[in-house]
Structure 1
C-alpha cells in the first residue's frame, strides 16, 4: 500500500517534505463536495486546544505530497494516513517548540533561496502544486519542517550502536539470509564458430583449458586463461546458466549466444555462502541505525499521542483536486 512519508526527517528539506502553515482563524472552504462546504464551519480535528479544519488537511497534503500520483490522492486509505501524519506532525512541532527548539530566519531564507534557485519561481509553483506561489506560506512551511528536523536530530544523538549490537544483528541477518552458490569456472569466448570448434577439439585432446583460452579466447580474462574464480552466476547471461547442470571437472560443448561462442569448465562449487561479518559491517550499521531511528520515532509519536487529547470528526471528507484551496486570513 502507498505510504505517506511526512515525518521522514532523514531526508533533506529540499526533497519536498513540506507542511502548510495553518491557524485557527475562520476559513474559506473549497467547494469540491457538499460535505466539505459543511465542514468549513466546524473543525474536523482537535488536538488538545487546537482546532483544525478540512482546509488545513488539504493544504497540508498539497505541500507535503507534491509528487503523489493522481490515483492515490483520493484513495480512502491514503486520506486516512494523511490525517494520521498530520496529527503526528502537529504533535512533534508542539513538542519541539516546547523544548526550546528554534530556527534562525536566515537559515529559512537560505533554504527558500535554494528552492528558488533549484526550481525557478514558475517551476517551484508547479512543484508545490500551487498555481500562484505563496512565498510567505512556503517560508512558514520550511521553518516548521526545520524545527522538527532539528528536534529529531537531537533525539538521534541518543542512538548508540556498539560492536555487540552489530554482531547480534549479524546473527539475525544470517538466519534470514538465503546463502548463494558460487561456481569456480573457466570461460572461453570466441567470436566465430570455427575458432570455438578448434578450441574445443584441443580440449578433447587433453590440452589445458587455460592454454587453449589464452590462444583462442577474445574475452577480458584471456591472459588469465579464462579463470573467473568463484562467481555467483545467477545474474549472468543465459549461457552461464548452463554451468549449473555441469559436473565438477567437466567441460561444456560450444554454446552459441548473442555474445559469441562459449566454452566453460567447472572447477568447483561452494554452496550456501554467507557474507563475512567484516565484509558487511558498514551495511549492517546503516540498516540497524535506520531501524533504531524508526523505533525512536514510533515510540516518540506514541508517547505524544498518549498524552494528547485527539478528536477526529466522523466521516471527514475532502477532495485533493489539482488546485489546492487558499486560506483566508481575515
Structure 2
C-alpha cells in the first residue's frame, strides 16, 4: 500500500480568471491573488483518484463526538479519544472509497425495487409492519432515506464480495444449529413493551426565560403526568419529536432492541407507568409503557432461514474486510494532515 502524508492542503473556490467550477489544491502559505482567501473545505485523504473531504469526516464523526463530550472526560482525555476515533473513522471512509471504486468498476447496480424487496424481508424477519419499521427507525434517529441508502450499500457490497472472492461462502445446517443453541436469549419467550415518549432537545429555548430550560419544561411535564395528566395528550401538546401527533407512539420493542440507558428506564415499568427524565442522543425524554406482551419462543424451524442469513452476512463482512486490506496494499492513498 502506497500511503503518502501531506500537511495543510486546502480546497479553495476558484472565484475569477474565467474558470468557474474548477477546484484547485493549494499548499498552505501560497495563495494565488485570483483566489478568495476563505477556506471552504479541506482534503483529508486521496484514495487513488477520489478525495475525502474534511466535511465528509466531520459529518461521519459528529454523532460519536457528541457521545464522547457527554461522558465527562477530562479535556486531555476527551481530545485523545476524539483523535483516536477520527483516525478510525478516516480509515473507514478510505475503505468505503476503495469499495465504491470496485463497485463502479464492476458495474454493480441495485435498483429501487431490489431495495424495496430487501426491506420487506427485514420487516418479515422482525414481524414488523411498515409503521413498526418507521417507528423503530425514528427511535434510533435514522431517516428512511438514510436507511434505504444503507440497505443499498450493503447489497452492493454483498454482490461485490460474491463477485471478487473466489471461495464460496457456505453456511451448513450444523452452523445454524450451533448458533441457535448458543443464543437462547434471542429465541426464548420474551416481553415486548408498547412504548410512547415525549422528547425535547437538549439545551435552552432562547425565546424563553433562562429559568425555562428544556429540562425545566420536562420537569413541569413530569409533574403534570404525576398529577394524572394523559401521557398521550401531553406528548401531542409538548413533544418535539416527529411522532408527537400520534401521542408519542413508538410501537412494541423488546428490551434488547433498546439503547442501554433507555432499556434501564423502561425495564422496571409496569403498563400505565412512565419513566423519569433521561438524557439521550435525541434529547431529554420521558418514556411511557402502555402495554406489555409476551411472545412465545421460536423453534429452530421458524428461525433457521433468519440465522442462516445472519451467519452469511457475518461471513460476507469478514471476507469483505480481508479483501479490503488486500486492496489497500495496492492502492495509492495519500493522507493529508
TM-score by length of 1: 0.35
- Greater C-alpha Rg: 1
More strand by share: 2
